[in-house]
Structure formats: structure tokens, C-alpha cells
A = this chain, B = another copy of it.
Amino acid sequence: MNPYAIDVDLLIVGGTIVTMNAEREVIVNGAIGITNGKIDIMGTRNIVVKNTRPKRVINAAGKVIIPGLINTHTHVPMALFRGISDDLDLNDWLTKFIFPAEAKNVDEKFVRAGARLGMAEMIRGGTTTYCDMYYFEDAIAEETKKAGMRGVLGETIIQFPVSDNKTPTEAIAYTEKFIKRWQNDPLIVAAAAPHAPYTVSTDDLKKIREQSDRFNSPVIIHVAETKKERDDILAQYGKTPAEYLDSIGFLSNRTIAAHSVWLTPAEINIYKTRGVGSAHCPQSNMKLASGVAAIPAMLAADIAVGIGTDGAASNNDLDMWDEMDSAAKLHKLTSNDPKTLPAELAFEMATIRGARALKLDKITGSLEAGKRADIVIVDMDSLNQTPYYNVYSALVYSTKATDVRTVIINGRIVMLDRRLLTLNERAIKIDANAYREKIIKSLGN
């Protein structure tokens, strides 16, 4: 026995650790000791094992240990609308299906059921942090905390009456209470989520920025998702969306700008200057024919751009593995260069760069001593991963959500050997199917 060994709550032993630290170290046959929810000690197996007295051990031999994935943009309760309508014009999709379905079904109980469904899918796929924009976000925060997930959760503020708040003023007041309630929570970051530049007034956007300054809280917003939005904003304000937002003092290093498909080089420069984080949603942008964001240019400018699935109604899943694969392939195609967005960079976007986008990179997004223990253990012996030559390539191009074995968030095991520990999968499915019946009835015929 080593008398200088330290006590740890949990020791992960064996496996290849993909740290995603600044040096991009990969530790073959490593070990990680976790205490009080944080990574206490990390290194090669022999050294860590000699120097720790663990309460509990997880054997990860032959597996790959990665930072938990970070889904930088979704609308988690929309999992209940998964596949409710597809292959339609954006306007038909929104006005004939999504908006009526929301108006008739969304309440606090609905968002709780939808959040549980979406989180169960995300945890199964190794996502440990997500960034959300929806209604009744305080209830979503409660569910997220119960599930043990990390969330940057934004209450929607929008010009027309919605399920929880009837005016932007009400929504801003809701957000104020919401942010106050969750200050200093270890898992939840409460935020405002003004829907988009075309659905929130200049005055309200200014109020939201002011609120964010008072609380040092993030602000989540859709920016330049479609060409129409870009053209409309240009016609209305004489400026492109990010230029307009910057001109009214809205953008800051606490802004998380989803999509950002139609940015000009000047707007990318604004993102860089203001420290705006961004969420790239390749599959949703493809499925809704929104366009292709200039990700290579954004990365060249070192913008903190993460990867997001968007809501399940426009994807139709919350699978970050698919999303990484799509991102890496899409930008090769559009840049006409197979060297664009190599696997390691796509994986970086789904981990540490995504954490930067959410301003959480001090606590998550990489495996380093001192950070919170958001850790995912991935099987690497499925047929689809066999054989494997390069760990980043195997992760991005060959690994599937179902290859995720064990998920730890903030030191707590939330999935062990593919069994969810904080969410009741059977009950979640029963709830979801009951909502399905209700939603179909609510839309008539």
C-alpha cells in the first residue's frame, strides 16, 4: 500500500483517454480518479492506480474515454414532435404543423415529458451538456437537474403570445426570476433566449442584453438561419442580422448564436471581436434547406463554434455522432477539399470548442485535472468500428451513439453499461406515446 495514496470516489481504469486538452494528449492505458464530482487525478494507469484508494472502480480496458459531448443547440421538448411533419416548405412546416401543435399541446407537463425523452436519448448517445431554447424553461431546468445533466437553458422570448408568456415583457420578467433561482447551481445555467432578430423588437433585445449584463448570464438566439431572414433584416434595418444585432449593442461574449448560416465575412469578424459563440446544426440546415454555414472561415477566425442537433422535429434525432460525421463531410463537399474539417477538428467542435461556445470551457469539454467529471466511456469493438487505426477517425466516422457504454456527469454515473440510472426509460416511452395520441388528435384528422 502506498501511504501517500489519495482517496477518490470513483476510479476509471484502463482505456485510451482522449483528453482534448490544449496539447491534444491521448493517454493509452490511462486512469482517471474522481472526487466530489471533479477530476482529481489523471494519467497513465500504473501511476494513477498506485496513487489512489478508490471507493468504486469502473474498468474501461479496451475502451475509449472521451469528454462528454456538448450539444450546443436544441429545443429538447420537441422530441415529442419527432417526425410529426417532414419534407415540407419551411413555412408550411411551421404554420401548419409545429405552431398549431405547440399552441394546442405545450404546457409545463408537456415540456417535462419532452425534456425527459430528449435527455434520455442524449445521455444514451454520450451527450453530457446541452444548450436549450424553449418554453417553461424553469421546469426543464428542474428535469435536467433531476436527470443529472448539465444544461445552458434559455427561456424563449418572442413577439407573439406563446404557451407560457403572453408578451416579451412577461417573458423577460420570467427570465429574471429563472436566472435568479438557478444562480450558482452546479449543473444548470439559466439564460434568456430571444428567438431571433426578426421576432423580437430592438427595444426588447436591448433589455435582454442589459439583463444579461446584470447577471453575467448567457443569451441564446437564432441568427441568420435562412436567406429570407437575412434579406428581411437587411430590408428592415439596412444591415445584415449580426451587423444589426451588433449595432444595437446586443452581442457580447455571452451570446450563443445558433445556425449563423448566412454570415458575411464582416459578420464573422463581428463574432470574433465580440467573442460570440456559435452553434452549427448541419443536419437541420440540410433538412430544412437553410444553407451551409461558413464553418471553415469561422474556424479560421477561431470562433467558438460548436455542433448542435437542433430540435428533433427538424433532424429527426439528438445524435451528436451523426452530427459530427455530417459536419465533417458537408464542409469537405462545399469547400471542394477532402482535407477540410478533419476528424479531430469535428471532434473538437463537439467537445472543447462547444464548451467554449457555451462559456463552460473552464469546467467541461476536455478531460483535465480540476475540471468537472463529465466523462463518456465508448466501446470500440463494434463491427462498424473494426478495425480501428486512428482514434479521432474512429470516433467521428465510425462510432455510433449505441457504442456509448457509460456516462458520467459532474462525477455522477447517469448511464452504466447502457442502463440509464437517472431516467426511467420505460415510463418516458409510455408518456411519449400518450402525447403522440394527444398531439395527433389536437391537429385534427
Q: Which residues of B contact A435 (CB under 8 A)?
A: 387
Task: Find A319's partner among B117, B318, B384 (CB 8 Å cutoff).
Answer: B384
Give the residues from 318 to 377 in chain A that come closer than 8 angstroms, CB to CB, to chain B. 318-319, 322, 325-326, 328-330, 332-333, 335-343
Q: Which residues of B contact A315 (CB under 8 A)?
A: 397
Interface presence of A58 (CB below 8 A): no
Interface presence of A6 (CB below 8 A): no
Q: Which residues of B contact A245 (CB under 8 A)?
A: none
Interface presence of A54 (CB below 8 A): no
Task: Find A390's partner among B83, B322, B325 (CB 8 Å cutoff).
Answer: B83
Q: Are B319 and A386 in contact (CB under 8 A)?
A: no
Q: Are A383 and B120 in contact (CB under 8 A)?
A: yes
Task: Find A429's partner among B337, B339, B381 (CB 8 Å cutoff).
Answer: B381
Comparing A88-96, A158-166, A231-239, the segment that makes contact with chain B is A88-96
Q: Are A287 and B440 in contact (CB under 8 A)?
A: no
Interface presence of A216 (CB below 8 A): no
Report Cα–Cα, A433/B429, bound state, in Å.
39
Comparing A39-47, A148-156, A197-205, A398-406, the segment that makes contact with chain B is A398-406
Closest to A394 in B: B83
Known A389-B84, A401-B400, A402-B402; judge A383-B121 contact (CB<8 A).
yes
Known A333-B292, A337-B289, A389-B83; judge A401-B384 contact (CB<8 A).
yes
Closest to A332 in B: B289
Interface presence of A294 (CB below 8 A): no
> How big is the A interface, by class?
35 or more
Q: Are A433 and B117 in contact (CB under 8 A)?
A: no
Q: Are A338 and B121 in contact (CB under 8 A)?
A: no
Report Cα–Cα, A197/B226, bound state, in Å.
41
Report Cα–Cα, A307/B338, bound state, in Å.
21
Chain B proximity of A61: nearest CB distance (Å): 15
Report Cα–Cα, A317/B287, bound state, in Å.
22
Q: Which residues of B contact A292 (CB under 8 A)?
A: 333
Q: Are A287 and B400 in contact (CB under 8 A)?
A: no
Contact pattern, A 269-308, Cβ under 8 Å of B = 1, otherwise 0: 0000000000000010111110110000000000000000
Report Cα–Cα, A397/B117, bound state, in Å.
17
Task: Find A398's partner among B80, B316, B389, B425 (CB 8 Å cutoff).
Answer: B316
Nearest 6 CB-CB pairings of A with B: A387-B436, A87-B342, A286-B329, A316-B397, A121-B383, A83-B393
- Residues on A lying within 8 angstroms of B by beta carbon are 79-80, 82-90, 93, 117, 120-121, 124, 283, 285-289, 291-292, 315-319, 322, 325-326, 328-330, 332-333, 335-343, 381, 383-390, 393-394, 397-398, 400-402, 425, 428-429, 432-433, 435-436, 440
